[in-house]
Structures are given as C-alpha cells and as structure tokens.
Amino acid sequence: MEPIFFALATLAVLAAPGPTNTLLAASGASVGVRGSLRLMPAELGGYLVSITVLNTLSGPVIAQQPGAMLALKLAASLWLALCALGLWRESGSGFTAVNTPISFGRVFTTTLVNPKALVFAFGIFPQGPIIQRVPWLLGFCGLVGFAAIGWIGMGAMITRSAGPLATPRRVWRAAALGLAAFAMIFAGSAITAVY
C-alpha cells in the first residue's frame, strides 16, 4: 500500500461527519480548543483498540458469522442512542470544562463502537502481523490528531460566530440530535441487512 493513498483514505474517513466528530465539535463549541484537547487521546485510544481487536481477533469471526456484524451494528446503535439521551438530559446552563457531558470515557466508547473502525481495519490498513502494521499505526495516530483538532476547532469557531445563540443547552442538544441520527442510521443499516 502506498503511504499517500493510506493518508488520503484515512483523512477522508476521519473528515466525514460521524459520532466521534460530533462529540469533538460539541466539545470545541462548549469549552474551546484548549479545553477539548484532553479528548484527543480518547479518540485515538478508541480507534487503536477497535482496529487492533477487529484485525486480530474479530476479523475471522465476522467473516464467518454474518450475525456478528449485525450484532456490532446494533450495539453501536444502542450506545449512540444512550449517549444522545445522556447529552440531551445533561445539557447544562454554562460552558465549563468541569460540567461538560462530553467526557473522556464517552468519546473513547463512542469511538470504540464507531463503524469507521471497520473501514480502517478491513479497508485501509494493510493486513498482516501487527508488527508490520506499526508504521501505519504511527502515521494513523498523527492523522487522527490532525482531524480531531480540525473538528474541535470547527466547533469553537461555530460558537464564536453564533454568539449568544450558541448556548450550552443548544450545543449539547444539537450534538444529541446528531448522535441520535447516527444511531438510527446504524440501526437501519443493520435491519436492512437482515431483510
């Protein structure tokens, strides 16, 4: 695999809207870029764990058991729905890094079940022993950081542009609606795969 193709394909997937990016942008809108940088290791850790597990353990099972992919999609859908509900209920009255409902654990878990990991594991990363994938993983880490800063920065910019319209309640509820939409998309794709 060519490094340029790997970088472009990875950035294209990371730049696409998704549940993790929704949380990063909402955090940027809530507490700014500096307050949101603590979430970058959560995204990176979620992707690395998910990709590694998919490539080494789950890949053979998923290939042989069509129901396994259905279960993964439904689990991801359920998590996103619960996350959306939590954000909706926890929408607060002020922007502070302490009271934001966008936590390290929420970003990690959302990234862990993000279907983008399937694309990375089976479509972009070269297959083979994990030791051969180390250089690709290192490059991936840099690309994840770059994309995360972009989504966080975009959220912060939207809040600055919107002024008093960007209240904490509106930002978090918009993020909750985004996550709910992704939950419905994932559940819909799982259901259509059955029928």
pLDDT for the residue numbered 48:
94
Arithmetic mean of pLDDT, 164-191: 79
pLDDT at 147: 96
Query: What global pTM score does this model have?
Result: 0.79
Q: Tell which residue, 83, 71, 133, 127, has the closest CA to residue 108.
A: 83
Domain map (residue ranges) of the chain: 3-194
pLDDT at 73: 77
Report the b/e string of 4-23 with b at 16+ CB within 10 A. eebbebbeebbeeebbbbbb
Mean pLDDT value of segment 150-170: 84
pLDDT value of residue 122: 80
pLDDT confidence tier of residue 34, bands split at 50, 70 and 90: very high
Average pLDDT over residues 49-78: 78
pLDDT at 194: 67
